[in-house]
A and B are shown apart, each in its own frame.
Chain A
Amino acid sequence: MSSGKRNMDDFERKLFAAWKSVDISAAEGWRDELMREVQSEKPGGFDQNEGFGKTAWRLAIAAGVAAFLLLAHSLYSGIIPDMDLSALFVLDPGGCLMSPPFSLA
């Protein structure tokens, strides 16, 4: 092993060891302040911070499934051709009225 790498490993080891050694002490009154906040509200079912991501994903999946089912139902019940006709009318109302099947002439 080169001395450079050995030095680097040694350096890193010292940093990692120092990271573990910290003073752990709470400020005076910390617990009282925490308990004041705790007693001002009810415990919840789930943490919104923790649960929001998962809930959003589940809702997105449910919305995707619902959209697919709606599309399948629309195709099955024949809404799509009606939509095509509506689009045709919006794009060219004059032409539509002059030609079958809407022909006024």
Chain B
Amino acid sequence: MDPNDREIIEEVLSGNTGRFEILVERHRSMVFGIAARRVPAEDVDEMAHEIFIRAYRSLGGFRGESDFSHWLAGISVRACCDYWRKKYRSREMPMSRLSEKHRDWIKATLSDESTDSFTRKEQQEAAREILMAAMEKLAPKDRAVLELVHLEERTVREAASLLDWSTSNVKVRAHRARKKLRSLLEKMIETEGESYEFR
């Protein structure tokens, strides 16, 4: 029978560091899933690397009160939030602008026109890029809670546990972030992305 996560953690902590690779293999798709949705594609590998290193460095702090995957998901979510916080602090936010492709997609979607001119992949890419561009204007904490509660549809309690916040803080911020995002998207739609400028 395969050893469970806790048994592997004990082995790693007792010096058999190579066993950490089993944890990486078991949970990499979950970590990559969290990172790939939250940070730009070119930074996903680096983000996943940093998440596992953070987990490894704090392995002794894993109390086993929850599953290892939940604990690791919390580290992942907070690391992605830190990623945006650093970008904000260093004023390195990407300056997204909508292209012709994005504007065409917005127009077609809103006017109930056929979007057949786009392949399914192109449609998803355009929609995703539009959403990411709008979210660049949100504060990192608002963004983190919005992703958990409204995009991933996790419960308030679960989001609170992953972010290490109180449930009331999650409720307030999630509501406020959703309103902010809605108004950003409305602004984008009003102009069909024509004069939508970021920052």
Contacts and interface: CB of A to CB of B under 8 A. Distances in A.
By size class, the interface of chain B is 35 or more
Interface string B92-136: 000000000000001001101000000000011111101110000
Contact of B17 (A18, A38, A46, A47): A38
Interface stretch (B50-58, B154-162, B168-176): B50-58
Interface in B1-57: 12-13, 17-18, 20-21, 24-25, 28-29, 32-33, 36-37, 45, 48-49, 52-57
A47 B57 CA distance: 6
B20 A38 contact: yes
Interface in A1-55: 7-8, 10-12, 14-27, 30-31, 33-35, 37-39, 41-51
Nearest to A31: B24
Contacts of B24: 31, 34-35
B89 to A, nearest CB: 14
B182 interface: yes
29 contacts: A11-B106, A15-B130, A17-B127, A18-B128, A19-B37, A19-B131, A19-B132, A22-B37, A23-B36, A24-B29, A26-B45, A26-B48, A30-B48, A31-B21, A34-B52, A37-B49, A38-B20, A38-B21, A38-B52, A43-B12, A43-B57, A43-B60, A44-B56, A44-B59, A44-B61, A46-B58, A46-B61, A49-B79, A49-B82
Interface of B: 12-13, 17-18, 20-21, 24-25, 28-29, 32-33, 36-37, 45, 48-49, 52-61, 75, 78-79, 82, 106, 109-110, 112, 123-128, 130-132, 150-152, 182, 185-186, 189
